[in-house]
Chain A
């Protein structure tokens, strides 16, 4: 079974059913299947096939959905990139995965020129929307998405992959500051999707709202889960306008509402929402960061007919645990138990299982586990280690948990310094490296501080260079021009020096301390 077979099978079962609703347009399963076939033929005609990676740098749109399936149908792997990536990091990632082609917005002309100059592996561009393609000549071919796709046949292209082939590279923040490409195969993604659809009880009648970016495994899994069961995805570009999501739920009679805690915190703050507008929702899922117990308590007041699912996972295996129903009410601080078709264990540093109540690293065994990190054999070896059987590797998550007698897991801490903000993972080192580029900055340390809406807010503590004037605005402005939006610090604090151990290593935890931002000092 290949990942795009999910779409093909649903198109055969429900030819006229809405597969995707996006920007006022309704795409049936037949429509989506045929348009992605055309695009797959187009990609193949331009030389894309097995062994290629095609990058998709788009916001949530019908073009991004078609690209996912078409790239797979052409036998290649897709690389979904966050639409708020800036040119330098975009080029870094394109080089890292040696992308053969990029699908992007035609209006990004200046970025296209940078990619042409800097990324040798890219052979052509597929440009969506206005200002596309033909109008602009470049060093490498630029095709207009719409007219290019329309010129190829709607029949299924020949199969050229097996389920052990790479379906996608998914970039995730690394603790060293360099993003890592997680290798997902058709088999690993298909296995995760099957388990998720099983515990959510997805059915063809489901209408799933997706405001999460498709560059995020949690956002992508909404699309693949819907395709698996023949449900409808209502694709939203973002959750910038929260009330618009509420309106969309009512208009489309949405049954599944996936979000991150930041979305729920925003919705729970709004005073004049009529909960009647959300009554069609039968399930709400939260992942990406810990769902505060206070939200667990208040969400049923907003989503009156919905079961709440609190979930935990990581890009390296998509999903691990979920908790819902009575168990969630009884254990609001837990992330639950393992989803179907996997085995979990908690291990101490020596690799031995820990007793109930003790803390250990979560180790995951299952077909949904990644094959490794792209071109990073040492990091792969540290994360995927021999397990109970000599012929397989198990995923060492780097997350510490304890387990109760009934097998419910409780998150304790991470082994690294990764910040979780708005449901996204951010490496503090990557933000530090960016700020350190400023000549007016002598030293910088970045950490996460508790925030009621963001989960953790990014805080930068800056030591100005001697005699230099540096402002909060200059630092934030620089970060905005270099980093994805969610990585830009919310708080900038200036100090005379950074807290360090005698050897010079930064004491990151000591950066949190500062009257206003320290909840313990405020006694809250």
Chain B
């Protein structure tokens, strides 16, 4: 699932594997101190590589990137499906 994939990336890269009990789907990464300015750039790099999308400069706003829910909504709007398959990729199996 897309959300699980994103959650795994956040936990692995920003929380160093320790998932805090209060990381819910709508937790603001900024509010919770999970991501700061350089963290956002790493997140964007991950999204572009993992899902084959291009994040426009004007799309780098909290409404698109600042929680698991925001990320899912944004990625699905860019053509990534709910299973987390890259945009434009052939369905597998």
CA gap between A480 and B22 in the complex, in Å: 18
A241 pairs with B62, CB closer than 8 A? yes
CA gap between A320 and B33 in the complex, in Å: 33
Q: Which residues of B contact A239 (CB under 8 A)?
A: 37
Given A238-B30, A271-B57, A480-B16: A244 touches B62 (CB 8 Å cut-off): yes
Binding site for B on A (CB under 8 A): 83-84, 107, 237-244, 247, 262, 266, 270-273, 422, 454, 473, 476-477, 480-481, 485, 490
CA gap between A485 and B34 in the complex, in Å: 10
- 5 residue pairs of the A-B complex, CB under 8 angstroms, read A83-B33, A242-B57, A244-B61, A247-B61, A272-B56
A147, chain B: closest CB distance, angstroms: 21
Q: Which residues of B contact A490 (CB under 8 A)?
A: 38
A457 nearest in chain B by CB position: B38
Tell me, yes or no, whether B65 is within 8 Å of chain A by CB: yes
Given A247-B61, A272-B57, A272-B58: A240 touches B16 (CB 8 Å cut-off): no
Q: Mark B31-73, 1 if CB is under 8 A from A, else 0.
A: 0010111111000000000000000111111100110000000
CA gap between A73 and B4 in the complex, in Å: 50
A131 nearest in chain B by CB position: B22
A273 pairs with B57, CB closer than 8 A? yes
CA gap between A476 and B14 in the complex, in Å: 10
Q: Mark B8-25, 1 if CB is under 8 A from A, else 0.
A: 000000001100001000
A477 pairs with B30, CB closer than 8 A? no
B65 pairs with A241, CB closer than 8 A? yes
B60 pairs with A241, CB closer than 8 A? yes
Q: Which residues of A contact B60 (CB under 8 A)?
A: 241-244, 270
Given A473-B16, A477-B16, A480-B16: A240 touches B57 (CB 8 Å cut-off): no
Given A477-B16, A480-B16: A240 touches B40 (CB 8 Å cut-off): yes
B65 pairs with A238, CB closer than 8 A? no
B19, chain A: closest CB distance, angstroms: 14
Q: B37 contacts which of A240, A272, A476 (Cβ < 8 Å)?
A: A240
B48, chain A: closest CB distance, angstroms: 14
CA gap between A273 and B61 in the complex, in Å: 13
A454 nearest in chain B by CB position: B38
A286, chain B: closest CB distance, angstroms: 16
B29 nearest in chain A by CB position: A240
B33 pairs with A240, CB closer than 8 A? no
| Majority SS at the chain A contact face | loop
Binding site for A on B (CB under 8 A): 16-17, 22, 30, 33, 35-40, 56-62, 65-66
Q: B30 contacts which of A237, A272, A476, A481 (Cβ < 8 Å)?
A: A237
CA gap between A283 and B50 in the complex, in Å: 40
CA gap between A422 and B39 in the complex, in Å: 13
Q: Which residues of B contact A270 (CB under 8 A)?
A: 57, 60
Point out which of A84, A238, A241, A270 has the most chain B C-beta atoms below 10 A from its C-beta.
A241
Q: Which residues of A contact B59 (CB under 8 A)?
A: 243
B12, chain A: closest CB distance, angstroms: 9
Q: Which residues of B contact A473 (CB under 8 A)?
A: 16
Q: A485 contacts which of B16, B17, B36, B56 (Cβ < 8 Å)?
A: B36
Q: Which residues of B contact A272 (CB under 8 A)?
A: 56-58
CA gap between A238 and B40 in the complex, in Å: 12
Given A247-B61, A473-B16, A485-B36: A240 touches B30 (CB 8 Å cut-off): yes
Q: Which residues of B contact A477 (CB under 8 A)?
A: 16-17
CA gap between A83 and B65 in the complex, in Å: 21
A241 pairs with B36, CB closer than 8 A? no
A243 pairs with B33, CB closer than 8 A? no
A57, chain B: closest CB distance, angstroms: 12
CA gap between A237 and B57 in the complex, in Å: 19
CA gap between A473 and B18 in the complex, in Å: 13
Q: Which residues of A contact B58 (CB under 8 A)?
A: 243, 272-273
CA gap between A84 and B30 in the complex, in Å: 11
Q: Which residues of B contact A244 (CB under 8 A)?
A: 60-62
B57 pairs with A84, CB closer than 8 A? no
A218, chain B: closest CB distance, angstroms: 16
CA gap between A410 and B19 in the complex, in Å: 48
Q: Which residues of A contact B40 (CB under 8 A)?
A: 240-241
B61 pairs with A243, CB closer than 8 A? yes
Given A271-B57, A273-B57: A84 touches B62 (CB 8 Å cut-off): no
CA gap between A262 and B40 in the complex, in Å: 14
New contact pairs (6) apart from A84-B33, A244-B62, A272-B57, CB-CB < 8 Å: A238-B36, A240-B40, A241-B66, A242-B60, A272-B58, A454-B38
Point out which of A240, A273, A454 has the most chain B C-beta atoms below 10 A from its C-beta.
A240
Which 9 A-B pairs rank lowest in CB-CB distance, beginning with the nearest?
A: A477-B16, A270-B57, A240-B37, A243-B60, A272-B57, A485-B36, A240-B40, A244-B61, A241-B62
Given A272-B56, A477-B16: A240 touches B61 (CB 8 Å cut-off): no
Q: Which residues of A contact B62 (CB under 8 A)?
A: 241, 244
Q: Which residues of A contact B36 (CB under 8 A)?
A: 84, 238, 240, 485
Given A84-B33, A480-B16: A240 touches B56 (CB 8 Å cut-off): no
CA gap between A477 and B40 in the complex, in Å: 17
CA gap between A264 and B40 in the complex, in Å: 16
CA gap between A272 and B66 in the complex, in Å: 21
A269, chain B: closest CB distance, angstroms: 8
A246 nearest in chain B by CB position: B58
Q: Which residues of B contact A107 (CB under 8 A)?
A: 22
A251, chain B: closest CB distance, angstroms: 13
Q: Which residues of B contact A237 (CB under 8 A)?
A: 30
Q: Which residues of A contact B57 (CB under 8 A)?
A: 242-243, 270-273
A330, chain B: closest CB distance, angstroms: 32
Q: Which residues of A contact B17 (CB under 8 A)?
A: 477
B37 nearest in chain A by CB position: A240
